[in-house]
Structure formats: C-alpha cells, structure tokens
Amino acid sequence: MATASGETDAEFRARIRDWLATNLSGEFAALRGAGGPGREHEFFDERVAWERHLAAAGLNCIGWPAENGGGGASIAQQVIFHEEYARAGAPAKVSHLGQELLGPTLIAFGTEEQKARFLPAIRDVRELWCQGYSEPGAGSDLANVSTTARLEGDEWVVSGQKVWTSLAHVADWCFVVARTEPGSARHRGLSYLLVPMDQPGVEVRPIVQLTGTSEFNEVFFDGARTAAANVVGEPGEGWRVAMGTLAFERGVATLGQQIGFRREVQALTDLALDTGAAERPEVADALRRAWTELDVMRAHALRTLGSAETGTAEVAKLLWANWHRRLGEIAMTVRGAAGLLADGTGSGASGSVDLDDWQRLYLFTRADTIYGGSNEIQRNILAERVLGLPREARP
C-alpha cells in the first residue's frame, strides 16, 4: 500500500482512513489512544505488533524515498497520513525515534552500507532505537557533551553518561553524540555513533517521573563498543549530523500531534460544559485562548512546512510546549478540588496511585518546556541566530 502513482491527495486520504478504520479492530481495537508521553508503558508488545502490521501494509516510513524502502509520499500526503493516524486514535509509535529521526538522518548523511544495514530493520520494526544526546551537564546545551569515544583498532570504545534517554530500556540501539577528539570544546570534535545496547559496558537505570512511569532513563557507557564503521558522517562532524536529526524531529508529524491536542482541548471543553466550570469567566477565557492558539500553531506549521530557515523549529517548540503546559493547568482548574485526589489502591504504574487522564496531562506537561530543548535554549537560539543579539556568556 505504498503511495500509488497518480493517486490524488483526496484518494490517498480516503485510502488511509479506510485502512485504519478496518485494521484498528479485532486484536488491535484496544490500542486506540494507547501510548504516548507519560503512557509508554501501555500495551507495549501489542503496539510493536501493530507497527509490524503497518509495515507489512507498506505504511511505515511513508515519507522515506522509495529507493530507501519508504513510500515516497509527498509532503502533503505525509501530513494527511499523520492527521488521519491521529484522528483514528491509532496508538503512539514505539519506533518513532528510529522511523522519524534516525532513518531520515541515515538517508541524508549515512553511507550506503549503513542504509542497507539499518533502514530495513527500522522500517520493519525489528530493531528499536533511543537517542543518546542529553547528559547531566549537557541537557539542552548539546555542545557541552562530555561522553567520549576513542578508536581502538576497528572499534569505537564509548564511556560516559546520558540522561533522559527515552525508551532506552527497550531499545536495541542508541544513536550517541560523543566527543572523539581529546581536548576539543563545544561543537568541535564530536561524532555521531550508532551503539548497540545489549552488550557489557551498557547499563540502563529507569528514572521514575511525576506520573509514576519510567519511560526516561539514565544510560551509563563504560567501555561499550561499536564498529568503527558505525559513525554517521565523518568523525568530528557529529554536531552537523546531530543538528540534522533535530530538524527531522520537528517535521510533518507535528501536525498529527496537533490533532491529538485538538482532541484533548475538545474533551476538556466538554468537561467544563458538563460540570458548569465553563460558566466561570476565567475558565471560558482560558479555553477560548487555547482554541485560538491551537489554530495559530497549525497555521505556523503549515506555513513553515519543509522550511530549513533558522528559528522555524524553535518557534514551533515554544508554541506547542507552552500551550500544552497551560492546557494541563486549565484542566486542573476545571477539575477543581477533585483534581487533587488520586486512587490510592496501588494499581497504578508507579505502584502507588492511579492518575486520571487530566492529572497525568498536568503532571507530564511540566516537562514539555524542558525536554527536546528547554524554553531558555530555544529563546537563546532565536535571539542569537535570528535577531543577531549578543551571545550569552558561556563558561
């Protein structure tokens, strides 16, 4: 079911919508709405099976070029797919980091051997990936990476610590930014390595979040090894490759993300109307603002789709992260005192409480303005690279 030659966008949308309606049934019916931030523990094995079902139908990696095993879909068709996927309530993808980040990075910067080795396994969901960027001293400031890798014969030997590594506990591989030139500083001397996780010298420690779930992890590399050929781009070019990955991170999938946002704000509006909270001026004003800002986000995403202009991704991140955090706050205002209570039966993911959807939204969105590049870093980039203001003092 790869993109058909000559198929109009309307025909493509109808085909995707019909396929999802037919296939999100039977064994997959329970997966509607499952997974996503704060809920990655839900139906994990079943979601892997669902993604392999998508792959068998040719509906994974539809934006990759056909020569790389993808669907060769246009930008418009990729937007349509992500919108329809979200509208259908299809489960969040466990292979997002491989399909949406590493795959396009390998297509842009990888060797033919790397593409042949890794792309089919990503597309078919036979290997899962995690992202080894953030460190205790280098969160949003990626250029401050201190994890090192040295070349010994035909292998890189990696030592250091990564943190906030999503899904590292289930990943087969990690794409790691490491310092490979001793004495180098900032963005110089970094390399982008592909490192297997199942080996001596790799330890994963889950980090328990406010929601009680543990999809983030610390990862410790202590002499972990990977083949010398598993460097993407040339050694020392890791900054350029890593920035390419971050650009792919905020691509067309964000429009599907906004469909999910729209579903959340609609459900919250319905709750406010049902409970009478919408009659309070501050709640009504907050909901009107949320709807308006959601339309602004969509207009910005459509206007800048495919743009490589500096600042585009940073503005998009600031828009959705702050909006989503405020939505969690509105939810708690709508819930009132009831929002402070959680089920203490011990059946929740944390082993202590069960959170409802609004409590989970409020707690997890505290992180939205931090992960993937904090608000402060996004604003620094805009100030320095777009507005030309003086650089912030750095140690």
Residues belonging to the active site = 249
Please tell me the distance from the alpha carbon of residue 71 to that of residue 363, in angstroms, as a whole number: 37
Query: Going by DSSP bridges, is the β-strand pair 173-179/129-132 parallel, antiparallel, or unpaired?
Result: parallel
Q: Residue 179 belongs to what H/E stretch?
A: strand 173-179
Question: Alpha helices, DSSP H only, in the chain?
Answer: 9-23, 44-56, 75-87, 96, 103-109, 112-123, 238-249, 253-275, 281-303, 312-335, 357-364, 375-381
Exposure of 395 in the CB half-sphere (CA atoms within 13 A): 4
Q: Among candidates 278, 375, 256, which has minimal Cα distance to 330?
A: 278
Please tell me the distance from the alpha carbon of residue 104 to that of residue 79, in angstroms, as a whole number: 16
Please calculate the CA angle 68-16-167 and round it to the nearest 5 degrees. Answer: 60
State the CB neighbour count (10 A cutoff) for residue 113. Answer: 10
Q: Do residues 103 and 65 make contact, with C-beta atoms less than 8 angstroms apart?
A: no
At 367, phi and psi to the nearest 5? -90, -15
To which residue do tokens 């509607």 refer? Answer: 32
Q: Residue 372 belongs to what H/E stretch?
A: none
Helices (H) and strands (E) in the chain, counts: 12, 8
